[in-house]
């Protein structure tokens, strides 16, 4: 992967690229807790976690990924006192978190596997905790598809872009959706879904 090559010489530049160009950091930050414990599912090499941890010293971030190389590089280049990175699937994580974050993860998860991820995330939530999904809409999402396909070198059958409303409907089967929105920031149509455990719903 390209980021594996870049991080060894340009870790700061890669953090800037991930947090300033490929995501809307300012808007995403509004959803991220200022303190407590956050689990980042599919953290990659930890570039964005580093930025959150640096600006929020009272937020303890546990990043997980199933790619051992990503975790090795995250621990080498993006480690801070309030970060921890481990190579493990979500289903094996123990403990409770104030936020379980999926950032640009679901469009790499086959539809048949999404229910189990949401169920696993739900059981890890603290009483006031929430799941946060940030991803790219299928509508106007061509730039993201091209980036995944030709820069990250994903095959076409590994990219499953969805519209926000469709994924929110799936999330609602397992959690209570508190908010969902789409915000276009050139060149990506980002969407955000915030949801909490159904048992905590105040309906």
175 domain-assigned: yes
What is the C-alpha radius of gyration for the chain, rounded to an integer number of angstroms?
16
Average pLDDT over residues 120-127: 97
Range list of H helices, the chain: 2-16, 25-28, 47-55, 68-77, 114-122, 142-146, 164-171
203 domain-assigned: no
Find residue 183's DSSP bridge partners: 190
28 domain-assigned: yes
Handedness of CA 121, 72, 77, 160 (dihedral sign): negative
157 domain-assigned: yes
Those residues with Cβ within 8 angstroms of residue 41's Cβ, 6 or more apart along the chain or in another chain: 64, 90, 100, 101, 102, 105, 117, 121
Residues 59 and 53 sit within 8 Å (Cβ to Cβ): yes
In this prediction, residue 203 has a pLDDT band, given cuts at 50, 70 and 90, of very low
- Per-residue model confidence (pLDDT) at position 2: 67
How many Å separate Cα 99 from the centre of its chain?
11
Tens of pLDDT, residues 54-113: 999 999 999 999 999 999 999 999 999 999 999 999 999 999 999 999 999 999 999 999
- Per-residue model confidence (pLDDT) at position 27: 96
Percent of the chain with pLDDT over 90: 74
Percent of the chain with pLDDT over 70: 95
113/130 Cα distance (integer angstroms):
20
Neighbours of 87 (CB within 10 A): 15
Average pLDDT over residues 121-139: 96
Which 3-state string (H, E, C) describes 93-131?
A: CCCCEEEEEEECCHHHCCHHHHHHHHHHHHCCEEEEEEE
22 domain-assigned: yes
193 domain-assigned: yes
Tens of pLDDT, residues 18-52: 887 789 999 999 999 999 999 999 999 999 999 99
Based on the structure, what is the number of domains in the chain?
1
Structural domain of 146: 2-198
- Per-residue model confidence (pLDDT) at position 5: 75
Identify the three-state secondary structure at position 36: strand
Q: How far apart are the first and last CA of the chain?
A: 45
Tens of pLDDT, residues 162-176: 999 999 999 999 999
- Per-residue model confidence (pLDDT) at position 111: 96
**Position 202 pLDDT exceeds 70:** no
Q: What is the CATH number of the domain that holds 129?
A: 3.40.50.150
Residues 95 and 29 sit within 8 Å (Cβ to Cβ): no
| Triad 27, 59, 39: Cα angle to 5° | 80
């Amino acid at each position: 992967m390209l980021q594996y090559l870049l991080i060894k010489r340009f870790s700061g530049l890669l953090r800037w690229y991930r947090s300033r160009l490929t995501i809307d950091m300012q808007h995403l930050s509004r959803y991220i807790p200022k303190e407590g414990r956050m689990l980042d599912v599919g953290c990659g090499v930890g570039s964005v976690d580093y930025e959150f941890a640096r600006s929020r010293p009272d937020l303890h971030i546990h990043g997980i990924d199933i790619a051992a190389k990503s975790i090795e590089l995250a621990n080498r280049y993006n480690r801070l006192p309030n970060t921890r990175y481990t190579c493990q699937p979500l289903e094996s994580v123990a403990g409770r978190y104030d936020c379980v974050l999926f950032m640009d993860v679901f469009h790499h998860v086959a539809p048949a596997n999404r229910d189990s991820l949401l169920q696993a995330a739900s059981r890890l939530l603290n009483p006031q905790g929430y799941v946060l999904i940030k991803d790219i809409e299928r509508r106007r999402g061509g730039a993201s598809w091209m980036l995944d396909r030709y820069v990250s070198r994903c095959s076409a059958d590994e990219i499953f872009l969805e519209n926000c409303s469709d994924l929110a409907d799936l999330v609602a089967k397992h959690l209570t959706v508190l908010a969902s929105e789409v915000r276009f920031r050139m060149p990506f149509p980002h969407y955000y879904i915030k949801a909490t455990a159904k048992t905590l719903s105040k309906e």
